[in-house]
Structure 1
Amino acid sequence: MPLVNFRDVADNAGPRLRPGLLYRSARPTGLTAAELTAAAPGLRCVVDLRGPDERTEADWAAADALGATVRNLPGQGSPTDLAALPPGTTLGGLYTLLLDHRTAWFASVVAELADRLPAVVSCAAGKDRTGLTVALVLDLVGVGRADIIRDYTATAAAMPEVLAALELAPANGVPADRRYAGAAAVGGLLDAPEDAITAFLDALAERGGAEALLTRHGLPRDHVGRLRAALAA
């Protein structure tokens, strides 16, 4: 499949979100312009959150062919390198670290999306970086907690296909979590468990919610209004 873990966020985020504007995806494989047009008509931008060692120029060639902007916005300077995390770190704990240590980066990604809808936000699995970015956008535009959780956990059904696409599926009897560097240190990393996004949303609420947190770290207030005007039904 050229697009794995791909969906319109409005499919799961309830009636408060307009469809056809915000999409999420794992990395594409052999995607054609026709396939991308069918999946995301009118696409203006792809915001790719992967680092340079995770992507190739050909990954989003289909978007280039359609005249859509491809923006690479990898997170930088985080202390959350998986290999450095102690055993027993939960996925929700990792998400809280990301919220605290990549806040300005999240603000920059959300600002990019506000400027370029309809857009796809994407990373390797379309689960962690993508899932947290989407959760922040949904909180920002007033989507309820249950719908944010529903959107995140929808990835769980796609994880076998995601792992296969990332060449992380079990091979030669070696489980995927032993083949993924540092994954054993983070419980649930190869899944999309509800308790992980719940922990993230709890931490977000403790910090005042997405609007208060992101605007303190660089998201212009006019971008908040722009996102709400575009996405909120």
Structure 2
Amino acid sequence: TASTTSEESMVDEPVTVIVSLNGWLRTRQGHGVDRASIQYKAGDGEMAVIETRTVNPLILMDSSGRTYTLRIADLPSGRGDGVPFTSLVDLAKGAKLVHALSAPPDSRWLASTTLGYGFIAKCADMVSRQRAGKAFMAVEDGQIPLPPVPTTGDWVAVAASNGKALVFPIEEVKEGTGGKGVQLIKLDAGEKMTALTVFDGQTLMVEGAGKGKRSGRLKLSGENLARYRTHRAKKGSLLEKGMVASRLWKD
């Protein structure tokens, strides 16, 4: 008979993974953790609080586009500070931790960079058995990866530092296992993609800074959303109130 792998014999339970800005990792049992109750070291704070399951891989992404994989069962649990991720992986020289996610290996994600390019890959494509991780995304100098987003919808929304936004069908984005991907939004020199999400095409929430650098939110639906709907690699249309989006999400 085939031998049972450690993954197969692992207990499958809900778990919350806490990742700090400085790369300290720990877990709490179950879901629904009160985020306000999570304490961090002085000068540190929240990067990600991820509700997942103990059998799923934890993926860490660095600023160069490399991904590193950890077993959630290997992380400390409880109320302590946790363990620094640099004690568990060999971080690429000059790189820093920028994102974390945990999901089933066959889940699909839209990976992108501030250059405005991206592709759809499975979580399994980010998994590496090596302490030094794997080169997952091609990231050019001066650019960084944006947070990968789950492909839970038929439409992609992207926004840029020039105040423009664009909505297009997700089928226009190619699937791949890594690299650079296809152009999502057309940018001029010095401009960067600042946010993206995948949604159902109905209602899009936008958060960012408007005129006078004051932060605010927009809720786009119906005709207000339709004016941004086009195809990938276009320049998009300006958001109202002079807003530059820092976050997009579905309502």
Fold similarity call, TM over 0.5: no
More helix by share: 1
* Bigger-Rg structure (1/2): 2
Higher relative contact order (CA 8 A, sep 6+): 1
TM, length-normalised to structure 1: 0.25
